[in-house]
Structure formats: C-alpha cells, structure tokens
C-alpha cells in the first residue's frame, strides 16, 4: 500500500491534539500530529511553577526565587521535558484512535515548533503488513511413493548390530577398527616428552571419523608396550581456541589393543535391542518405523511445495524489524550452540549468519503471514477438544500418563505450541485437499537438490 489510507484517516475534530494516519507502505504507519500551542504553554507553565517551588538559590528562601530567574536557569530543560510529555500524550492518542499494534517504538520525524505556530511532528512505526493470500487452490504438488526395501531394513538391523559390538583384548599389532588404549605425552619446549602433562588411558578407535588423521595413520601397527612419536596439526576450526592450527608432537605409549567383536544378528540380539522380541518381530517393527519415517518426509515435502507455491504467487512486503527479530533469534540460538561446544562468538560469524540466513527468514515470515491469512479467510480453527485429543494421542504414542501429561501441557507454553502445530497442520491439510496431487516414484528428486 503506497498511498494514504483514505477510509482509515482519522483527525480529531476537537481537542488540542489532532492526529492523521498515513500508510506509505503496507508495513509502515505515519501518525501525523498537530498540537495546539496552548497545550504546550499549559504543560510548560505547570512544570515551571513546580520547579520554582522547589528551587533553592543563595540569597532566596526555598521556593521564593523569582520566576524569571528560575526560567533563565532551567527553562531549556523544562521546555525539553514539556515537549517529551506532549509527544508521549500525542502518541498514546494516535495509538488508541487508530487502533495501532506497532512492532517497533515510534520514531520522531519532521518535528517543527516555531513561535506562534502549533507543534507538528510525525511518529513512524512498523506494523504487521496487510496480507491477502490469493491463488492458493489447485496448487500442483508431487507426492513420492513410500516404499521400504528389504535392504533398508537390513541396513538398520546391521547398525543395531554394530551398536552392540564389544572390544576384546588381543595380542597383536593394531589394525583398522581396533580400539587402542594408550597414554599421550605432549612434547615440551625442549623437544622432550613432558611427563607432567601425561594424558592417561585414552581409548581411540583406529580409523574413526572424529580422530585426527595423523593418529589414524600413526597408530596402525602399534602393539601393547610399544612407544611411538606422532606429530599432529589441529585444524583451524578446532573447538579449543588454544589448539587451533597448532602443531603438537605426542609420545604415544600403547597399553592394550582390542579387536571389535560384532554379535550375530539373531533372536538373542533382537531381544537385547527390543526386550522380548524375536529377530522377525524386530524386523517387522523396523519396517513399520521406516514406513512412518518415509511418510513424515513425504508430508514435509508436500508442505514445502505448498508453501513454495503460495509464496511464489503472492507478494508480501515485510517490515525490516520482523526480519531483524527473526535473525536475532537465530543468532541467539547460534550463541547457545557455541557455548555448548566451547566455541567463541564472533561478530564475523554473526554477520555471516545474518547474510546467509536472510533469504530463509524472509521466506519463513512471508509463509507465516500468508498461512495466517488463509486461516482467516477459510475460518480454520482449533478447539480445546482438538487440543485435548492431541494430548491423549501424544501420551499414548509415548507411554505417558494422560492426566499428568495434560497437566504439563496446561502449566506452561506447551498448550500454545500444540494449538499452533494443530492449526498449521489443519491449514496445510486444507490446502492439500484442494491441490492437484501427482504420485511419483519413491526416488524422484522433487526439488532438484541432487543436481546442485
């Protein structure tokens, strides 16, 4: 919206403060204020009188300093305070008269107050943009078939099998995938091992992804009782600031070599993974879980296609503050992760996050506003009964006691989150019910991401 609000313009007919509302952008409101000079004079006079009563000056009793002298000393400060109070009153009036719900504090612009003239100024704020979603029916989407192959089930079973692997001590040189027990002694400044900094009883799996490559290569072939010097260079992205990019030599003292022992994939192993189940029953459960996981992925793909489509055909001008606040939340989450991982926060990383994250933020906010408007147009709602039904469903799926879980949901923000999730799911389901859905093979690359 680039022109003045016509029907929405409001101007007080009576009273010392008159307000007019303009909307140069769909997300911007300008409250134009005109204040009768008599209101300022009254506010100024009242504040001057109050100041004079408490004024203390040598040669005069408290409160008896001549008004002109008080004004000469305090006039500028009193005028500033009176002006700030008038602006505050005008903003409250503009806020109430125009029923504004601003996203930002008002910015003062075009202030004018000359002798003999009324006080005039603009108060500028950002608001949620007015959005009207269009062309959201008959959207074309592709739905991948969900197929679980025997190989998919076998891969999961083998990972479960690997998770139950143990290590048994062997009397031979270390090989890939063996576990080696060793002490690490860093080299001191004089090139000799620093025994005071000995790191004892470290267990490393030779060839593991998390190891420095120098260890994976250097530990191969070592036997218990053998010593070997290995020089490593820590990567620049290492979480420990003191080690980033540092080259350190370690004297490695091997104490034990253990070989990996993977148990047989049979009913006994299945019973350990899922108590009381046979291998066949575990396989059936894995297949069912994989099918549900595939269905969830397909649902997410359908939602993404719907969101992409409505964002492509609807223009939404976003307030800068909405985008900035969204990115602020992301930066806060980034800082929390850095703290957990022992990484420092840097202005450079924050700036890079904001730059790379801005397109995602804009799309997420645009989609949120469009979905909200579609809910409004289509009168899509969620009742307390819907929420309670969802509570019972979640409790049943996770083995929670229903009443205790209900109490947890109702005690904080969880109920609001459940309501939002249900509302969003209902909105996507509504749009999908009116979409043109094409079923495609399970290996179809719907978003073309494999080609990137």
386 CA to centre of own chain: 27
Looking at CATH, the fold of the domain delimited by 166-261 is given as: Chitinase A; domain 3 (3.10.50)
- Position 418 scores a pLDDT of 93
Buried b (16+ CB within 10 A) or exposed e, 22-43: bbeebbbbbbbbbbeeebbeeb
At the fourth CATH level, the homologous superfamily of domain 270-451 is Trigger factor, C-terminal domain (1.10.3120.10)
Cα–Cα dist 10/391, whole Å? 47
Tell me: the pLDDT tens digits for 96-143?
999 999 999 999 999 999 888 899 999 999 999 989 999 999 999 999
For the chain, give the number of residues: 452
Domain ranges for the chain: 17-126, 166-261, 270-451
- Position 1 scores a pLDDT of 39
Confidence of residue 5 (pLDDT cuts 50, 70, 90): very low
* Tokens, residue 91: 């903003």
Confidence of residue 13 (pLDDT cuts 50, 70, 90): very low
18 CA to centre of own chain: 42
Buried b (16+ CB within 10 A) or exposed e, 437-452: eeeeeeeeeeeeeeee
3.30.450.90, 3.30.70.1050, 3.30.1490.20, 1.10.3720.10: CATH of 17-126: 3.30.70.1050
The arithmetic mean of pLDDT across residues 424-436, rounded, is 96
DSSP assignment string, 331-392: HHHHHHHHHHTTPPP-HHHHHHHHHHHHHHHHHHHHHHHHHHHHHHHHT----HHHHHHHHH
Are 11 and 32 within 8 A, CB to CB? no
Confidence of residue 6 (pLDDT cuts 50, 70, 90): very low
Tell me: the pLDDT tens digits for 352-409?
999 999 999 999 999 999 999 999 999 999 999 999 999 999 999 888 999 999 999 8
The arithmetic mean of pLDDT across residues 303-315, rounded, is 95
Asked whether residue 429 carries a pLDDT value surpassing 50, the answer given is: yes
Place of tokens 């080690």: 243
Long-range contacts of 45-53 (CB under 8 A, 24+ apart): 47/78, 47/81, 47/82, 48/74, 48/75, 48/78, 51/78
Are 78 and 44 within 8 A, CB to CB? yes
- Position 374 scores a pLDDT of 97
The arithmetic mean of pLDDT across residues 149-153, rounded, is 96
Cα–Cα dist 303/311, whole Å? 12
Asked whether residue 3 carries a pLDDT value surpassing 50, the answer given is: no
57/258: higher pLDDT? 258
Asked whether residue 75 carries a pLDDT value surpassing 90, the answer given is: no
Cα–Cα dist 221/202, whole Å? 17
Are 406 and 388 within 8 A, CB to CB? yes
Are 2 and 14 within 8 A, CB to CB? no
The arithmetic mean of pLDDT across residues 178-206, rounded, is 87
Confidence of residue 29 (pLDDT cuts 50, 70, 90): very high
350/4: higher pLDDT? 350
Which residues, 6 or more positions from 31, have their beta carbon under 8 angstroms from its beta carbon?
19, 20, 21, 90, 91, 94, 95, 98, 100, 106, 122, 123, 124, 125
Are 331 and 350 within 8 A, CB to CB? yes
- Position 7 scores a pLDDT of 38
* Tokens, residue 393: 């469903």
- Position 234 scores a pLDDT of 85
| Domains 166-261 and 270-451 alike in fold | no
Asked whether residue 14 carries a pLDDT value surpassing 60, the answer given is: no
Tell me: the pLDDT tens digits for 204-240?
999 998 888 999 999 999 999 999 999 988 887 776 6
414 CA to centre of own chain: 17
Question: What HEC string does 320-341 produce?
Answer: HHHHHHHHHHHHHHHHHHHHHC
Nearest one of 302, 426, 303 to 375, comparing CA atoms: 426
Which residues, 6 or more positions from 173, have their beta carbon under 8 angstroms from its beta carbon?
221, 222, 223, 257
Burial classification of residue 302, based on how many CB atoms lie within 10 Å of its CB (0-12 exposed, 13-18 middle, 19 or more buried) = buried
Tell me: the pLDDT tens digits for 312-349?
999 999 999 999 999 999 999 999 998 887 788 999 99
Tell me: the pLDDT tens digits for 169-180?
999 999 999 999
Give the angle subtended at the CA of 443 by the CAs of 440 and 445, to the nearest 5°.
80
DSSP assignment string, 204-245: EETT-TTS-HHHHHHSTT--TT-EEEEEEE--TT-SSTTTTT
Which residues, 6 or more positions from 217, have their beta carbon under 8 angstroms from its beta carbon?
none
Nearest one of 31, 40, 39, 15 to 95, comparing CA atoms: 31
- Position 291 scores a pLDDT of 96
Asked whether residue 10 carries a pLDDT value surpassing 70, the answer given is: no
Half-sphere exposure of 121 (CA within 13 A, CB side): 22
């Amino acid at each position: 919206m680039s022109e003045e609000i016509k029907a929405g313009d409001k101007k007080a007919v009576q009273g010392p403060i008159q307000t007019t509302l303009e909307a140069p952008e769909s997300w911007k409101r300008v409250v134009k204020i005109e204040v009768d000079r008599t209101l300022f004079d009254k506010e100024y006079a009242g504040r001057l009188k109050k100041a004079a009563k408490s004024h203390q000056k040598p040669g005069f009793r408290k409160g008896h300093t001549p008004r002109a002298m008080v004004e000469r000393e305090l006039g500028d400060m009193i005028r500033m305070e009176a002006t700030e109070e008038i602006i505050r009153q005008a903003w409250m009036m503009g806020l109430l008269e125009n029923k504004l719900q601003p996203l930002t504090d008002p910015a003062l612009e075009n202030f004018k107050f000359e002798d003999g003239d009324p006080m005039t100024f603009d108060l500028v704020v950002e608001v949620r943009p007015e959005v009207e979603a269009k062309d959201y029916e008959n959207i074309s989407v592709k739905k991948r078939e969900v197929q679980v192959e025997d190989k998919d089930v076998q891969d999961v079973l083998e990972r479960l099998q690997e998770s139950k692997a143990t290590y048994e001590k062997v009397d031979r040189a270390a090989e890939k995938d063996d576990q080696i027990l060793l002490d690490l002694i860093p080299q001191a400044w004089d090139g000799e091992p620093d025994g005071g900094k000995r790191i004892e009883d470290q267990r490393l799996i030779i060839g593991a992804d998390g190891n420095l490559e120098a260890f994976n290569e250097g530990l191969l072939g070592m036997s218990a009782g053998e010593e070997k010097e290995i020089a490593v260079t820590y990567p620049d992205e290492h979480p420990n600031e003191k080690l980033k990019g540092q080259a350190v030599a370690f004297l490695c003292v091997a104490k034990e070599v253990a070989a990996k022992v993977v148990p047989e994939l049979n009913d006994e192993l299945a019973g350990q993974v899922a108590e009381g189940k046979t291998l066949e029953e575990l396989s059936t459960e894995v297949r069912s879980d994989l099918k549900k996981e595939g269905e969830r992925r397909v649902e997410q793909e359908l939602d993404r296609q719907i969101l992409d489509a409505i964002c492509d055909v609807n223009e939404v001008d976003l307030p800068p503050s909405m985008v900035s606040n969204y990115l602020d939340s992301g930066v806060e989450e980034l800082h929390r992760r850095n703290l957990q991982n022992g990484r420092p926060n840097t202005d450079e990383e924050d700036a890079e996050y904001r730059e790379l994250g801005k397109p995602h933020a804009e799309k997420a906010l645009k989609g949120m506003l469009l979905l909200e408007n579609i809910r409004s147009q289509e009168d899509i709602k969620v009742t307390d009964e819907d929420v309670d039904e969802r509570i019972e469903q979640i409790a049943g799926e996770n083995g929670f006691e229903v009443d205790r879980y209900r109490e947890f949901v109702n005690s904080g923000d969880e109920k609001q989150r459940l309501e939002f999730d249900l509302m969003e799911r209902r909105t996507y389901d509504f749009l999908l019910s009116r979409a043109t859905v094409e079923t495609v093979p399970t290996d179809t690359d719907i978003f073309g991401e494999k080609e990137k």
